[in-house]
Amino acid sequence: MEKDLDINDNGILLDVKNLTIGIKGRKKDLILVENFSIEVRRGQVVAMAGESGCGKSMVCKGLLGILPDGIEILSGSIIYNGKEIKTEKDLKEIRGKDVNMIFQEPVSALHPLKKIGRQIGEGLKIHSKFNDQDIKNKVLQVMKSVGINNPQKRYNQYPHQLSGGLCQRVVIAMAIINNPKLIIADEPTTSLDVTVQAKILKLLKDLNREKKTSIIFVSHDLAVLSQIGERINIMYCGEIVEENSTKEIFTNPKHPYTKDLLSSIPEIGKEYLRPIRGSVPIPEEYPVLCKYKDRCEEKFCSCESIKPKLVEVKDGKVRCLKFE
């Protein structure tokens, strides 16, 4: 039997090790994401959660090499399918073909002056040898598969003629047109109403189940992640503070920040929502030791002098002195 050449032997499709992202300074670098590590296996859905400003989107952009000007990867490694991604050429070989992204704001992710059909087909035009008619046929097929009604009509429409939900489906169609092995979904349901949100989640789950597409799903909403993620990485101030299976995160959370996030989820019959006090600090003001120390209600004397490490616990990891 011929060996599967698409995935390396241990089944890991993406292996990110100690990724640090920031802005180089003359005297000191400004760190935005610190020592971020994640593994994604073939057909696995891995989630990232945390409040806005915790570094989730920065990680996503870093993985695809589309960081804003002035921000760069300072250290660490990104290994895709057993090969380390070191250069822009390496990124171009996989970006848009093997790895694609669903952006947070669907309307801003689309070109306002280009027709929908053309935008969806651009990735296919770049990464395949199909002629124009074959590309159009494939685009119409993908539009139908993501639930875009009347694809023949929508093909020639512009983004402003579509609702937010339809624009998000267009962005998803753009992401899956080349049958990627990995999709990075950055807050793909944030701006959508609950009904459309459920449809988008079902669409991504079907894609994962039927095509074995691996997904990194990013959201600040743990309730959403409970419906799709197999494992959840909780981020705070640019670093992972807890990583575990979805079941363990929801039934036995360990880090105080994870507990606070869960306590703030609205539920039917819940009499009181406990908001997290304070707010996420800007990178220039990240605490040197435990980054959650100033908001934590479980801190003790050692938190004022020792920097916590990411230590192993049952089925996962946690960054808290109580577990060291």
Report pLDDT for 309.
Answer: 95
Q: Is the pLDDT of residue 265 over 90?
A: no
Query: In the chain, what are the domains?
Result: 12-98+180-323 (3.40.50.300)
Rounded to the nearest 5 percent, the helix, strand and coil shares of the chain are: 35, 25, 40
pLDDT in tens, 106-145: 878 899 999 999 999 998 888 888 899 999 999 999 999 8
Q: Of 164, 155, 95, nearest to 123 (Cα)?
A: 95
Using DSSP's 3-state secondary structure scheme, residue 56 falls into helix
Q: For residue 204, what are the CA distances in angstroms to 53, 149, 200, 214, 231?
A: 25, 18, 6, 10, 16
Q: Report whether 173 contacts 146 (CB < 8 A).
A: yes
Q: Report residue 193's pLDDT band, with 50, 70 and 90 as the boundaries.
A: confident
Give the residue-averaged pLDDT of 68-90. Answer: 95
Identify which of 207, 211, 261, 205 has the alpha carbon closest to the alpha carbon of residue 230. Answer: 205
Angle subtended at Cα 258 by Cα 253 and Cα 260, rounded to the nearest 5 degrees = 110
Residues contacting residue 292 through CB under 8 Å, at least 6 positions apart: 236, 237, 241, 255, 256, 257
CA 2 to chain centre: 33
- Answer whether residue 54 shows pLDDT above 90: yes
**Of the candidate ranges 94-108, 111-125, 276-290, the one whose mean pLDDT is the lowest:** 94-108
242 close to 310: Cβ distance less than 8 angstroms: no
Tokens of 62: 């870093």
For the chain, give the number of residues: 324
When pLDDT is cut at 50, 70 and 90, the band that residue 9 belongs to is: low
15 to 19, 27, 37, 112, 273: CA distances (angstroms): 10, 31, 8, 35, 37
What are the strands, taking DSSP E only, across the chain?
Answer: 12-23, 30-41, 45-49, 72-80, 83-84, 99-102, 182-186, 214-219, 231-236, 239-245, 310-313, 316-319
**Averaged pLDDT, 13-21:** 97
Name the helix (H) or strand (E) containing 109. helix 106-109
Give yes or no for residue 3 having a pLDDT over 50: no
pLDDT tier, 200 (very low <50, low <70, confident <90, very high otherwise): confident
The region of weakest confidence among 61-65, 263-267, 269-273 is 269-273
Distance CA 187, CA 176 (A): 17
* pLDDT at residue 152, as a whole number: 94
Strand order in the sheet with 30-41: 30-41, 12-23, 72-80, 83-84
Phi, psi of 310 (to 5 degrees): -80, 105
pLDDT for res 198:
86
Distance of CA 133 to the CA centre of its chain: 33
pLDDT higher than 50, residue 235 = yes
The overall average pLDDT reported for the chain is 91
pLDDT at 230: 93
Average pLDDT over residues 250-263: 94
Tokens representing residue 267 in the block: 């539920």
**Averaged pLDDT for residues 150-178:** 92
pLDDT of residue 2: 38
Which pLDDT score is estimated for 106? 80
pLDDT of residue 70: 95
Q: How confident is the model at residue 314 (pLDDT cuts 50, 70, 90)?
A: confident
